[in-house]
Amino acid sequence: MRKNIVAGNWKMNKNVIEAQQLMFQLLDYKKHNATQCEVWIAPPALYLMMAKDVFAHNEIGVFAQDISAHESGAYTGEISADMLASIHAAGAIIGHSERRLYHGETDAHCNVKVKLALDKGLTPIYCNGETLEQRIAGQHLEVVKNQTEVALFSLTAEEIKKVVIAYEPVWAIGTGETASPEQAQEIHAHIRNLIAGKYGQDVADEISILYGGSVKPDNAKEIFSQPDIDGGLIGGAALKSDDFAKIIEGFNL
């Protein structure tokens, strides 16, 4: 079911005390404020169990930042979908641009990970998006098309409805640059149209598509008001409870 979502990707930030403080600040905010969206966080793996304890009543969804493409075995440092399911995590981010850049992750890898996540009842947040070079060359629509088809189009209609997609223009992550609302809407509509072409409009209309490119308190409302943008996958601004709260309130204004 399509829903509004604000998800915070903490990446490799916060020591254990800082992480706990931020979790309790978010819990306090969630308990005292009505929100018009679901709120999710993806802390470092070390803090997943702590997050599940803090948000014991599922006030905030707890996601991993990645999962292994293997079910189990001798894969040092990896975390499996089954492990995440066993702690009742909500899901995992898959295919983030930083995983692609620094760890060589491909769309084919993402396809395997998405299927493993779904098999264990986890919600995949599948990330796609073009680089600056691809945008300048006018390849952005084709790049996103290929990423979406390879990673997701082997799923059944019922499976793909359980996936959340996060469009992240790579050139707007951690750079301070932001795609205009119109640029973001163009790609979000493109992704939804691709899904509609494969699975039908009813299926496409059930899938939440998030924007993952430098959403801030001062642009959240305008970005979230676009018809095909259902929220954001937030990076740096998710590390400050006040900023994250103001982005959540982009749906309330």
pLDDT (tens place) for every residue of the chain, 253 residues total? 789 999 999 999 999 999 999 999 999 999 999 999 999 999 999 999 999 999 999 999 999 999 999 999 999 999 999 999 999 999 999 999 999 999 999 999 999 999 999 999 999 999 999 998 899 899 999 999 999 999 999 999 999 999 999 999 988 776 666 678 899 999 999 999 999 999 999 999 999 999 998 889 999 999 999 999 999 999 999 999 999 999 999 998 5
* Residue 14 annotated as part of some ligand binding site: no
Choosing from 98, 168, 188, 190, which is the catalytic residue? 168
* Residue 10 annotated as part of some ligand binding site: yes
Strands 91-94 and 164-167: unpaired
Extents of the domains making up the chain = 7-251
- Please indicate whether residue 96 is annotated as part of the active site: yes
Write down the pLDDT at residue 111.
98
3-state helix, strand, coil in the chain (%, to 5): 50, 15, 40
Which residues contact residue 206 at a Cβ distance below 8 angstroms, ignoring those fewer than 6 apart? Answer: 1, 2, 161
- Please indicate whether residue 188 is annotated as part of the active site: no
Write down the pLDDT at residue 179.
77
Pair 153, 198: CB distance under 8 Å: yes
Residue 225 parent element (H or E): none
* Residue 9 annotated as part of some ligand binding site: yes
* Residue 15 annotated as part of some ligand binding site: no
- 165-208 pLDDT tens trace: 999 998 877 666 667 889 999 999 999 999 999 999 999 999 99
* Residue 121 annotated as part of some ligand binding site: no
Copy the structure tokens of residue 120. Answer: 């264990």
Could you please state the CATH topology (level 3) that the domain comprising 7-251 is classified under. TIM Barrel (3.20.20)
- The average confidence (pLDDT) of the chain is 95
Write down the pLDDT at residue 176.
63
Handedness of CA 130, 250, 60, 8 (dihedral sign): positive
In the chain, where does DSSP find H-type helix?
16-32, 48-54, 81-86, 97-103, 107-119, 132-136, 140-152, 157-160, 181-199, 201-204, 220-224, 241-248
* Residue 95 annotated as part of some ligand binding site: no
* Residue 171 annotated as part of some ligand binding site: no
Write down the pLDDT at residue 73.
97
Pair 211, 229: CB distance under 8 Å: yes
